[in-house]
Amino acid sequence: MQDIKAEIQLPTSDLRADIPFFTKVLGMRMDMIYPADNPQVAVFSGHGIRIRMDGAAGTGDGLVRILSDDPDGFAGGKRDLRAPGGCRVEIAERNPPVVLPPTQHAFVVRRLADQAPWIIGRAGMHYRDLIPSRLGGSIIASHIRIPDGGPVPDMVHFHKVGFQLIFCYKGWVDVVYEDQGGPIRLHAGDCFIQPPEIRHRVLEASDGIEVIEIGVPAEHITEIDHVMTLPTPDLRPDREWQGQKFVHNVGSTAEWEEFRIPGYICRDTTINTNTKGVASVQVVRRGRGQIPWTSHDTDILFTFVMQGGLTLEGEGKEPYRLEPGDAFVIPPGMGTRYAEPTDDVELLEVTLPGRFKTTIA
Q: Is the pTM of this model over 0.95?
A: no
Instruction: Identify the domain boundary among 217, 249, 281.
Output: 249
pLDDT-based confidence at residue 290 (cuts at 50, 70, 90): very high
1 domain residue, yes or no: no
211 domain residue, yes or no: yes
Q: Do 211 and 291 belong to one domain? A: no
pLDDT 10s digits, 160-203: 999 999 999 999 999 999 999 999 999 999 999 999 999 999 99
Q: Any idea what the CATH number is for the domain that residue 336 is in? A: 2.60.120.10
- What is the pLDDT, as a whole number, of residue 59? 66
* Rounded average pLDDT over 238-261: 95
Q: Do 125 and 238 belong to one domain? A: yes
Return the CA Rg of the chain. Answer: 26
| Portion of the chain with pLDDT greater than 90, in percent | 69
Within 10 Å of residue 204's Cβ, how many Cβ atoms?
17
CA distances to 64, 79, 283 from 26, rounded to whole Å, are: 11, 11, 54
- Domain of residue 173, residue span: 119-249
Q: Do 60 and 128 belong to one domain? A: no
Q: Do 224 and 145 belong to one domain? A: yes
Pairwise CA distance, residues 135 & 101, whole Å: 9
Q: Do 160 and 208 belong to one domain? A: yes
| Three-state secondary structure call for residue 228 | coil
Domain count, the chain: 3
- What is the pLDDT, as a whole number, of residue 304? 98
Verify cis geometry, omega within 30 degrees of 0, for the bond prior to 319: no
pLDDT 10s digits, 312-357: 999 999 999 999 999 999 999 999 999 999 999 999 999 999 999 9
Pairwise CA distance, residues 361 & 358, whole Å: 10
pLDDT-based confidence at residue 289 (cuts at 50, 70, 90): very high
113 domain residue, yes or no: no
Q: Do 128 and 244 belong to one domain? A: yes
| Portion of the chain with pLDDT greater than 70, in percent | 97
